[in-house]
Amino acid sequence: MARRLGLHQEVLQVNVWRGNASGGKHCHYEVPSLESQTILDVVTWIQRNLDPKLSYRFACRVGMCGTCAMMVNGKPRWTCRTHVRKVLDNNTLTIEPLRNLPVIKDLACDMSEFFDKWDRAQGRFHPSKTRSDDVVRIPPTSVHRTQVDAAIECINCAICYAACDVVQWNPDYLGPAALNRAWTLVNDVRDNNQTVRLRAVSSDAGCHNCHSHQSCTTYCPNEINPTASIAGLKRATAKATLSGKI
Amino acid sequence: MIGVRLYLAQRISAMIMAPLVLIHLVTIIYAVQGGLDAAEILSRTRGSVVWGALYALFVLTVSVHAAIGLRVVSHEWLKLRGTGLDVLTWVVGLGLMLLGGRAVVAVIM
Ligand code: SF4
Ligand code: SF4
Ligand code: FES
């Protein structure tokens, strides 16, 4: 229930997970409700006014950098672009660190494994030309370019990774973001590392472990569809295997 | 816990199984219309190369498909890893092949 404090100020009931790698618990705070308030505003208000030791991560505050993701009422969200009004449940917010990643402290997770998996999925571009070669002309309407366009706007926020049950069940699984990245490069006609990449995403931890249940797609704040990218990888790797290329 | 080869084996076995299941169902429904009993059915299947081949293929694809499916479930839900997981996959696959193989032999020979 919304309580009123002082000058008709509505108050939000907020539970924030506090702790570190060895464990923690939820702490309760009361935060003034404001117009157009985001979850990140709430966390920042707590840190500035109630508990300066609260740790969390953010940078851009406009949905560009991908650092502010947290679990909000059980769902992974980019907190700088998530309005309190949209996710408030019975005037209560429960804010926790992202799922599927080890906690460093409070709401800040260790992202190393998430990014290591980008590397393991061969998420780096390997140029096939040098600076003295001509620029490759890629028509914006070409099939490959269209596939890249659909998947390229990833901000590395790990929301899809937190939403994926297979990552939870099988911690080695490369996960939706790294595989989505690999798919953009599989479609990059300038890249010359394709065989190695197709092998990497075909490993025991690769794209074939995806169950296509689409949690990643449901929660991706940039409306990317990693499930479709992974389906593309499954097709590409199956073809390459059957034709003896990998 | 599956790479591209097991993935392909599971998809291809499913593609083969689908029509075989249909043939099996349609045939048993059609065969019992006139009130066939076990002895009459056996008299038709015994010595039949076609039925033998069909059911042998069915047993083979079921064994492959089920072994890979249970491998994934055991890895994700029972947290089985490494050698234990490989052993389970083989035991399920070979076990089903053995049991199914016996049934095929019984119906055909
Ligand atoms: S579709 Fe695949 S990658 Fe996406 S959440 Fe489901 S299992 Fe994970
Ligand atoms: S695919 Fe979407 S949810 Fe996943 S890391 Fe990229 S932007 Fe975030
Ligand atoms: S703070 Fe940069 S995306 Fe939220």
- What are the tens digits of pLDDT across the range A119-138? 999 999 999 999 999 999 99
Position B38 scores a pLDDT of: 83
Q: How far is A125 from chain B (nearest CA, A)?
A: 23
CA of B56 to nearest chain A CA: how many angstroms apart?
25
Taking residue B21's Cβ as centre, other Cβ atoms within 10 Å add up to 12
Nearest to B76 among A170, A206, A237 (CB): A170
User: Sign of the CA dihedral A189, A195, A200, A202?
Assistant: positive
Task: Report residue B25 as tokens.
Answer: 């169902």
State the amino acid at position A139 in one-letter form. P
Rg for chain A, CA atoms, rounded: 21
CA distance A242 to B107: 35
Give the pLDDT confidence of A186-214 residue by residue, as tens digits.
Answer: 999 999 999 999 999 999 999 999 999 99
Grade residue A8 by pLDDT with cuts at 50, 70 and 90: low
Within a domain: residue A4?
A: no
With CB atoms and an 8 Å threshold, state whether A206 touches B4.
yes
Encode pLDDT of A33-85 as tens digits. 999 999 999 999 999 999 999 999 999 999 999 999 999 999 999 999 999 99
In a domain, A1, yes or no: no
| Of the partner residues B2, B4, B77, the one whose CB lies closest to the CB of residue A238 | B4
Contact (CB<8Å) A202/B4: yes
Q: Is the CB of A156 under 6 A from ligand 2?
A: yes
What CA–CA distance (Å, rounded) separates B38 from B17?
Answer: 24
Confidence tier at A1 by pLDDT (50, 70, 90): very low
Residues A168 and A197 both lie in one domain = yes
Secondary structure in 3-state letters for A151-185: HCCCCCCCHHHHHCHHHHHCCCCCCHHHHHHHHHH
Please count the structural domains in chain A: 2
Those residues whose C-beta lies under 8 Å from the C-beta of residue A145, and which sit 6 or more positions away, are A138, A139, A187
| Whether residue A191 sits in one domain with residue A120 | yes
> In whole angstroms, how far apart are CA B38 and each of A6, A44, B44?
85, 76, 10
Residue-wise pLDDT for B46-102, tens only, equals 999 999 999 999 999 999 999 999 999 999 999 999 999 999 999 999 999 999 999
Structural domain harbouring A157 = 112-242
Pocket test for ligand 1, best of A99, A159, A164, A165 (most atoms within 8 A of CB): A164
Contacts of residue A221, Cβ cutoff 8 Å, sequence gap at least 6: A63, A77, A78, A81, A155, A157, A159
Select from A72, A90, A109 the last residue of a domain: A109
Residue A231 lies in a domain: yes
* pLDDT value for B109: 87
**A146 in a structural domain:** yes
CA angle at residue B62 from B60 to B67, to 5 degrees?
100
Answer whether A227's CB lies under 8 Å from B29's CB: no
Q: What is the pLDDT of residue B41?
A: 84
Domain B2-108 sits in CATH at: 1.20.1300
pLDDT confidence tier of residue A117, bands split at 50, 70 and 90: very high
Q: Let me know if residue A5 belongs to a domain.
A: no
Last residue of a domain, one of A109, A127, A154: A109
Please report the beta strands in B1-109, taking only residues with DSSP state E, as ranges in sequence order. none
Q: How far is A196 from chain B (nearest CA, A)?
A: 14
Same domain for A182 and A200? yes
Q: List the residue whose alpha carbon is closest to atom 6 of ligand 2.
A: A154
Give pLDDT, residue B31: 80
Element (H, E) at A25: strand A23-32
A209 and B CB contact within 8 Å? yes
Do both A145 and A229 map to the same domain? yes
